[in-house]
Structure 1
Amino acid sequence: MFNNLPPLTRNIIIINIVVYIITNFFLYALNKPELYNMLSAYYPFSPFFKSWQIITSMFMHAPFADGSGLMHIFFNMFVLYNFSFLENILGGKRFLILYFLSGIGAYALFNAWEFVQVEMFARQLESLGFNIYDYFSGTNMQLKGSSQSIETQQTLISNIIKIISSPLLGASGAIFGVVSAFATIFPNARMQILFIPFPIKAKHFLIFSVIISIYLGYNGDDSGTAHFAHVGGALVGFILARIWRKHLNRFNPQ
């Protein structure tokens, strides 16, 4: 069954599995776990950020030691496997562009939202008489004010540090782009989704997924899921599919 997959999808799945095995087992056995951080994608203004991470992070998944790592990679690869037929429809070149541009779009939108939050926290600190940029440069690390003000400043600083030190990893942004492209090309196709007891039109599933992702991303949750990355990937997939749909004559784009 695996050998019947289109070549690009098959290779993407193989690379994800190989990278997961190497980073989670071989490198930990060699006591070199730092590669996980080198390949995951950090906030672009973080000292941990490297340009290649935007691409390599698409092949990284939650660590095995976290307990959710296997489910993370399994679910992503399972979804990609089920939408592999889109490679045959778009052709290998378009599918590759779709996959990687969706992943890049996921990184861009996620970090645009992170930037908004960092600036919001920085402005709040500034109103309390503290400059976060002086803090990171080492110019001024002294908190001043009442005990309540200092506690607030510490919380805001912790929020900023969490953003710049927490990596983005996973193929879900790229895969959301693939699913979004399918829903844009075949809006009325009926999909059978896990945990939904009835078929749902692709366009309705896409709209519902994007709305939920925006809501959860804006309000925040403790799952560690990069909801705005999903939205970014879906947006790129939608745009590309709208462009390409006019030139694909092998199906009825109803």
Structure 2
Amino acid sequence: MFNNIPPITRNIIIINVIVYLISNFLFPQLYDIYDMLSAYYPFSPNFRSWQIVTHMFMHAKMGDGIGLTHIIFNMLTLWSFGPILEQRLGGQKYLILYFLSGLGAFFLFNLWNFVEVQQISSSLNSLGFNVDGFLSGAHVGFTGTAESIAQQQGLVENLKAIMSTPMVGASGAIFGVIAAFATLYPDAKIMMMFIPVPIKVKYLLPIVIVVSVFLGISGNAGGIAHLAHVGGAIVGFLLARIWRKHLYRFN
């Protein structure tokens, strides 16, 4: 059955599984693999240029957060929607869709990170904290009243969290695939785990996007990069709209 999956979708699934096995089972003590290949905020000292691509093949560590469920859900979703799109678009367009959606996810997620960093930095500067020195690695102390120091400490912890928390997983790219599917097959009906009846994707996807935007900007993300999903979906939607007019002309 697995051999019946079109080659690009099949190979993407294989690469994700291999990377997961290597990072969690073959070398479980070397979690530096996660530091190397997961995507950090571009202005973090942990960021490396290749992470823009490699993060799409990393998933939550075994036993950490959503753990194994993360890669299982992503790969099952790709298995469900990927083959149809790969056959409809052709291998080249499908591959472009996948990776550009992943890049869109990285961009939007870190654009919001940038906005948050600027807000935090502005607040810290107004409290007399040397943000530039802190970000350059210098030892910077807190000054001012007890209340001001408490505020600075909380803001610095938020800043550290943005700098040190990586983004992992193919979810952004897969949301691009789902959005492209919804654009090309808007009346297709699918079943969701918590929805007992089939629902057309043209109704379901906007709901998911609105919820993801709300969770992403409200701070109720729960460890999930919701805005990355939105970024991937936007790219998938735009590409499908562009290509939809020319599919029969070029394929």
The TM-score normalised by the length of structure 1 is: 0.94
Q: CA deviation at 1:230?
A: 0.2
Q: Does 1:168 align with 2:167?
A: yes
The equivalent of 1:33 in structure 2 is: 31
* Residue deviations 1:150-202 (CA, integer Å, cap 9, x gap): 01000001101100110000000000000000111111222222211111111
- CA deviation digits over 1:222-254, x for unaligned, max 9? 52000000000000001100100001239xxxx
**1:14 and 1:138, CA in 2 relative to 1: closer, same or farther beyond 3 A?**
closer
Q: Deviations over 1:104-160 (max 9, x none)?
A: 000000000000000000111111111311222255602111111101000001101
* Cα distance, 1:138–1:101 mapped onto 2, change above 3 Å: closer
CA contact (8 A) 1:122 1:131 kept: no
Map of 1:153 onto structure 2: 152
Alignment RMSD, CA only? 1.3
Identity of aligned residues (%): 57
- Give the counterpart letter for 2:75 in structure 1: M
**Contact 2:41–2:162 (CA under 8 A) maintained in structure 1:** yes
Partner of 1:103: 102
State the partner residue of 2:76.
78
Aligned residue type for 2:183: T
Give matches, 1:1-254, under 5 Å. 1-28=1-28, 31-66=29-64, 68-83=66-81, 84-138=83-137, 141-221=140-220, 223-249=222-248
Unaligned 5+ segments in structure 2 are none
* Aligned residue type for 2:195: I
Runs of 5+ consecutive residues of structure 1 not aligned to the other structure: none
Separation of aligned partners in 1, 2:77 and 2:119: 36
Q: Offset of 1:32 from its aligned partner? A: 2.3
Q: Distance in 2 between matches of 1:56 and 1:98?
A: 16
Q: Measured at CA, do residues 248 and 157 of structure 1 come closer, stay the same or move farther in structure 2, by a change above 3 Å?
A: same
Distance between the aligned counterparts of 1:151 and 1:222, measured in 2? 25
User: Is 1:99–1:177's contact at 8 Å kept on the other side of the alignment?
Assistant: yes
Distance 2:221 2:96 in 1: 32
Alpha-carbon distance in structure 2 between the residues aligned to 1:181 and 1:66: 31
Runs of 4+ in 1 over 6 A off after TM superposition: none
Instruction: Tell me how far apart the structure 2 counterparts of residues 178 and 11 of structure 1 sit (CA, whole Å).
Output: 15
User: What is the count of residue pairs matched by the alignment?
Assistant: 248
SS at match of 2:44: coil
Contact 2:186–2:201 under 8 Å retained in 1: yes
Letter in 2 for 1:48: N
